[in-house]
Structure 1
Amino acid sequence: MTRSARDWLDLIRALPLTEPVRIMNVCGGHERSITTAGLRGVLPRNIELIPGPGCPVCVCPEEAIYAAIQHGLREEAIVVAYGDMLRVPVNVPKDEARSLEQARALGADIRPIASPLEAARIAHDNPARQVVFLAAGFETTTAPLAALLQEGAPENLLLVMAGRLTWPAVAMLLDSEQPGFDALIAPGHVSAVMGSDEWLFVPEKHGLPAAVAGFSPESLLAAFYAVIRQKLDGKAGLANCYPEVVRPQGNVAARRLLAASFDIGAAPWRGIGNIPASGYHLKGALRRHDAREHLPDHGAALRRRAGEMPPGCDCARVVLGRIPPTACKLYGQPCTPRSPIGPCMVSDEGACRIWWSAGTGSAS
């Protein structure tokens, strides 16, 4: 029997839950669905929904964005990036370009794209120029890039690699003294690629309930019910509440492409630091597409606050679920989607932008 959102909500409300439970989601799409559907407002008060590290734009290394800006301004390369990345600010003096968007206003050839195929097409159409792709994203956007590399990318296409794996950030939180959550909702699209089994470490190693969810209120509420039921029963497990898309082993072909194209190693997350086994790094002969092999870094390591969040910005703690967006002193004033200071207010997968767009803590 297919249950409606109302059915799942009634089942949750009927649970004998007397203690607070904190449920973290690890997907910007989940957070957007939760917020726009108003799920926080209809759940029992002792259920807290925490947005976690589910926004690739928010954690993209500041130094990678800085490098892309410099490649456009100083090397006169064509720089391409996913649309949200163009507005993410870096830490530079006020008289310098703070974002790819500002670099474009200064004359750099910066172009928004929606897929790696667009980057390849631009490189094909401009064989005499270097095309630099700021390749940010999680597993779902890195898999198509792997497919392009295996099929044969244009030689003039260079990559600033900023692809990240999702699970290591969760593992880092769980290995800390204060994880900050009692149950996990695993990301649907990432699990469709990597498989639901990737999240078994949550119940098996840490004893916390987990569930994979889709993006509808029905799937999310089913996942909330599943993890609360597990907690009440004292039997942590992994529930798949998105079975129409997610399989235990995921998309085997996509995983093979990823394994053929990238090595996995430690990588920086903006404002958080290096996380072990969390970064995609070009493998073997594919390193000929690494922008670092062809273009200078223009002294990026010498910059003040290189790699950090902007001064006063609490995006890192928001990403890690340590504080809600509204607890950041910059939230809403002066940091808004129209004039973002931190990356969490830029992307439509950033918790700050999602909350502000929904009117949470806004002047309206």
Structure 2
Amino acid sequence: MHTAQEWLQKICDLPLPNKVRLMNVCGGHERSISMAGLRKALPSQIDLIPGPGCPVCVCPEQDIYQAIQMALQEDIVLVSFGDMLRVPVNVAKKDIRTLEQAKAAGADVRPVASPQEAVKIARAEPHKTVVFFAAGFETTIAPVAGMIAEGIPANLLLLLSGRLTWPAVSMLLESEQPGFDALIAPGHVSTVMGPEEWSFVVDKHHIPAAIAGFTTESLLAATYSVLRQLIEQRPFLDNCYSQLVRPQGNPVAKRLIQATMDVVDAPWRGIGVIPASGFELNQRYAEHNVRLRFPDFAKQARENAGQMPPGCDCAKVVLGKITPLECRIYGSPCTPRNPVGPCMVSDEGACRIWWSSGLRKESAEIAEVS
């Protein structure tokens, strides 16, 4: 195994083109890249682009609105992963815009760290209806599926906002301007779904791809791999996270997902509907589907439903069209303390990651001048 310094040297020794764009589609990868300062360490020709790796960022605005209104208007306990409590919806500033604000207004809203916490709450309060607002990609949805398959209390319902990662990448590659030359594929998603899920990038689009882990060494190994593939014009899918990523992924996790959920066309916030990109409870578990048990508050007429907040360019950041620094409201007024858009809320959001890494618009301007 090479050290990070050795991988960097190997990359620097390559006959690189004038510009090469590498996209990662994992919030964990983006966090590792930013915290390790890889953008500054790598040759200037290499442009590392954060892509659609944040499930909180793309969670449909209408689902968040539905959760807020249910918590306020129905006699329920609303539980969700912590990041979701601070994501704002598009309503007037005087109105309640987040689950956190709904909690402050008296709604019973509770953060949880795992699906089993939702089960524990439901069993501890059998007289209450507990709604689990579950948003996430495949690595989050797998334990949710396991929770369901094990058997959940009758008083536990789900508002499911699960998404598959690969259809967003496929959508980008099918567009006229994909915006990247090679792909760093997500490690955790691949541990669940298998590396084969990313074969279409190479087989259909002839673009180099490598699956990476979360250490600097693994990320640099994947970077070196896709750069060599580009230079040699020999694209293939490389597994640089073989410690955990196995052929066919995790068969138990995949079987649980298939047994409890259907894959459906699904909306991504600010992006639109992406075919076959969402998870929904299947008919066998329909009695736990909150959309079939409560009024659909999300269908009430609202302007800008499904879009990002005014001025927020989070959708462009998610799609790799711009960097966080190019968002019109990055840093003013949008900060982690007072997030306007979802990309500044989640620890997997590129804007939050860049801000936490110390990247500010003024520092970028100074660098450009110097």
> What TM-score comes out, normalization by structure 2 length?
0.97
Corresponding residue number in structure 2 for 1:294: 293
**Do the aligned partners of 1:60 and 1:162 also contact (CA within 8 Å) in 2?**
yes
**Do the aligned partners of 1:82 and 1:112 also contact (CA within 8 Å) in 2?**
yes
Corresponding residue number in structure 2 for 1:246: 245
Corresponding residue number in structure 1 for 2:140: 141
**Do the aligned partners of 1:300 and 1:306 also contact (CA within 8 Å) in 2?**
no
Cα offset, 1:299, TM superposition:
5.5
Corresponding residue number in structure 2 for 1:59: 58
The 10-residue stretch of structure 1 (237-246 or 299-308) with the greater mean CA deviation from structure 2: 299-308
Corresponding residue number in structure 2 for 1:310: 309
Q: What is the 5 A alignment of 1:216-255?
A: 216-255=215-254
**Do the aligned partners of 2:65 and 2:298 also contact (CA within 8 Å) in 1?**
no
**1:351 and 1:74, CA in 2 relative to 1: closer, same or farther beyond 3 A?**
same
The runs of 5 or more residues in structure 2 that have no matched partner are: 364-370
Letter of the structure 1 residue corresponding to residue 242 of structure 2: P
Letter of the structure 2 residue corresponding to residue 133 of structure 1: F
The runs of 5 or more residues in structure 1 that have no matched partner are: none
Q: Percent identity?
A: 63
The separation in 2 between residues aligned to 1:255 and 1:230, in whole angstroms, is 30
Corresponding residue number in structure 2 for 1:5: 4
Is 2:315 the partner of 1:320? no
Corresponding residue number in structure 1 for 2:351: 352
Corresponding residue number in structure 1 for 2:204: 205
The separation in 2 between residues aligned to 1:270 and 1:111, in whole angstroms, is 24
**Do the aligned partners of 1:66 and 1:300 also contact (CA within 8 Å) in 2?**
no
Corresponding residue number in structure 2 for 1:100: 99
The separation in 2 between residues aligned to 1:123 and 1:70, in whole angstroms, is 20
Corresponding residue number in structure 2 for 1:154: 153
The separation in 2 between residues aligned to 1:305 and 1:69, in whole angstroms, is 17
The separation in 2 between residues aligned to 1:362 and 1:250, in whole angstroms, is 41
Corresponding residue number in structure 1 for 2:33: 34
Cα offset, 1:167, TM superposition:
0.3
The separation in 1 between residues aligned to 2:336 and 2:50, in whole angstroms, is 18
**Do the aligned partners of 1:356 and 1:362 also contact (CA within 8 Å) in 2?**
no
SS at match of 1:200: helix
Corresponding residue number in structure 1 for 2:271: 272
**1:101 and 1:228, CA in 2 relative to 1: closer, same or farther beyond 3 A?**
same
Aligned residues: 363
The separation in 1 between residues aligned to 2:88 and 2:315, in whole angstroms, is 14
Cα offset, 1:301, TM superposition:
4.0
Letter of the structure 2 residue corresponding to residue 148 of structure 1: M
Q: What is the 5 A alignment of 1:18-97?
A: 18-97=17-96
Corresponding residue number in structure 2 for 1:361: 360
The 10-residue stretch of structure 1 (120-129 or 341-350) with the greater mean CA deviation from structure 2: 120-129
| Structure 1 residues 49-74: Cα deviation after superposition (integer angstroms, max 9, x where no partner) | 00000000000111101111111100
Q: What is the 5 A alignment of 1:176-191?
A: 176-191=175-190
The separation in 2 between residues aligned to 1:148 and 1:209, in whole angstroms, is 36
Cα offset, 1:99, TM superposition:
0.2
The separation in 1 between residues aligned to 2:229 and 2:146, in whole angstroms, is 38
**1:286 and 1:18, CA in 2 relative to 1: closer, same or farther beyond 3 A?**
same
**Do the aligned partners of 2:265 and 2:277 also contact (CA within 8 Å) in 1?**
yes
**Do the aligned partners of 1:173 and 1:179 also contact (CA within 8 Å) in 2?**
yes
Cα offset, 1:136, TM superposition:
0.1
**Do the aligned partners of 2:62 and 2:298 also contact (CA within 8 Å) in 1?**
no
Corresponding residue number in structure 1 for 2:167: 168
Is 2:114 the partner of 1:118? no
Cα offset, 1:93, TM superposition:
1.5
SS at match of 2:80: strand
| Structure 1 residues 101-125: Cα deviation after superposition (integer angstroms, max 9, x where no partner) | 0000000000000111001111111
Corresponding residue number in structure 1 for 2:367: none
Runs of 4+ in 1 over 4 A off after TM superposition: none
